[in-house]
Amino acid sequence: MRENLDKQLSFTSLKWFNFFVYGTVVLFTSFFPLYLQDVGMNKLEIGSLMSVGALVSIIANPFWGIWSDRYQNIRRIVLVMLTGTLILSQLVFQANTYEMIYIAILLFYFFQGPLFAQSNTMILSYIDGTRRRFSSFRLWGSLGWAFTAILAGPVIEWAGISVLSYLFAALLCAAMIALITLPKLDHSIGIAPLPFKGMRQIFYNPFFLCFVLFGILVSIPNTMNNTFVSLYITELGGSKTMIGLAVFLSSILEMGVLLLCNLILKRRIPVLLASLTLVSALFFLRWWLMAGATTPLQVAFIQVLHSITFGGFFYVGTQLTMLLVPRPYRSSGQALYTLAWSGISGILGGVLGGWLYQTLGAQTMYQSGAILTLFGAIGFGLMWLFVIRGSYRPPADPENEPEEDSE
């Protein structure tokens, strides 16, 4: 009886932990560009600064993964990451020169960037061997993202952008309290975030490389939007409350889309490629509508498409990676897919989006994003035609290779 009660309490703490962690990240991604603009940075400087996180994560992800595997105490590792994120976030907000902001943000991203990956590994470790599903804990993350955004908007509107540092610290402290209440783990599933074992074999797979390339074209405009949509809303006359509403509408249906994809989409390459083409076409429509928006309310409602486009692209892309890469190299394939989606696209999207916004304006930035997405959608469509005409042969699993992903 006591053991069941302890387990129930730990699961409740995990849900609240996810709620607060996602809440802190949405504060940073949605409102921090406004803070940077308030201290005098232009669009190119903001885009460059925000893109640094993608660059740092390439180093930070394997670093924290190695330490987690070595110490087999992922709860303590996550606590160290949260503590570093808290301290460095306050240094970022207190920095009084651009040089200090850049130095502080580099260190900040080193702790904050891999937080999702390590938190997911920790949750999977706690529920390992139970009937609990990861999706129920991920749902609490989506709720934290959505409700923090819509509640923070009016607070920032009333108190000013400087209150952002206090909100960020409060949510981080709440996440740390939820983490401390968790019982110590006696094991860890030890998922390495960036295994590179099969990279050479993957680079001999031109069909998968085309899939990654077209994915980069589609995801660059998504990074542009994530970085600059809050500035776009204020430029159109919108308030901080409107920014919170836009983020809320963009994320509240995301888990529903993921669950629906899981129920209705067959895990077959032709079906998934057709779905990816359709999702990319919706991305194109989304950016074209954003380019033509004239009021902040229009932007907020267009953001509803985020749940379908991002949720669908993330789900289908992950499933396709599993089918396009031989079994022994799937974890390397997922690493390359993640690196392309969040790393390469994050760097290019921040810098390119900042330059386009600064020199040609937001409408041109979104129109350029629509054109990039259109090329990506056409590419996925051609891949789909290639498959349904029988010209594609999946790569065979190498003989005598350990099936590292079969467990």
**Spatial contact of 141 and 18, defined as CB atoms under 8 Å apart:** yes
**Spatial contact of 172 and 53, defined as CB atoms under 8 Å apart:** no
| Mean pLDDT estimate for the chain | 83
Inform me whether the pLDDT recorded for 196 exceeds 60: no
Please state the rounded mean pLDDT for residues 335-341. Answer: 73
Query: Sorting pLDDT into bands at 50, 70 and 90, what band is 332?
Result: low
Give the separation between CA 35 and CA 49, rounded to whole angstroms: 12
Buried b (16+ CB within 10 A) or exposed e, 288-322: bbbbebeebebbbebbbbbbbbbbbbbbbbebbbe
- Helices (H), strands (E): how many in the chain? 17, 0
Give me the residue label for tokens 């920014």. Answer: 243
Torsion angle in degrees (nearest 10) through CA of 40, 45, 47, 53:
-100
57-100 pLDDT, tens per residue? 778 877 877 777 677 678 888 899 999 999 999 999 988 888 88
Give me the residue label for tokens 């991604």. Answer: 29
Residue 133 backbone phi and psi in degrees, to 5: -105, 140
Predicted pLDDT of residue 7: 56
Query: Sorting pLDDT into bands at 50, 70 and 90, what band is 166?
Result: very high
Give the separation between CA 244 and CA 30, rounded to whole angstroms: 8
Nearest in space to 152 (alpha carbons), one of 32, 310, 44: 32
281-307 pLDDT, tens per residue? 999 999 999 999 999 999 999 998 888
What percent of the chain clears pLDDT 70, i.e. is strictly above it?
87
Tokens for 247, please give them: 């983020």
pTM over 0.75: yes
Predicted pLDDT of residue 200: 62
Inform me whether the pLDDT recorded for 2 exceeds 60: no
Nearest in space to 356 (alpha carbons), one of 42, 29, 27: 42
Nearest in space to 183 (alpha carbons), one of 26, 339, 10: 10
Tokens for 359, please give them: 């020199």
Predicted pLDDT of residue 330: 63
- Higher-confidence position of 297 and 197: 297
The amino acid present at 247, given as its one-letter code, is V
Q: For residue 36, how many other CB atoms are within 10 A of its CB?
A: 22
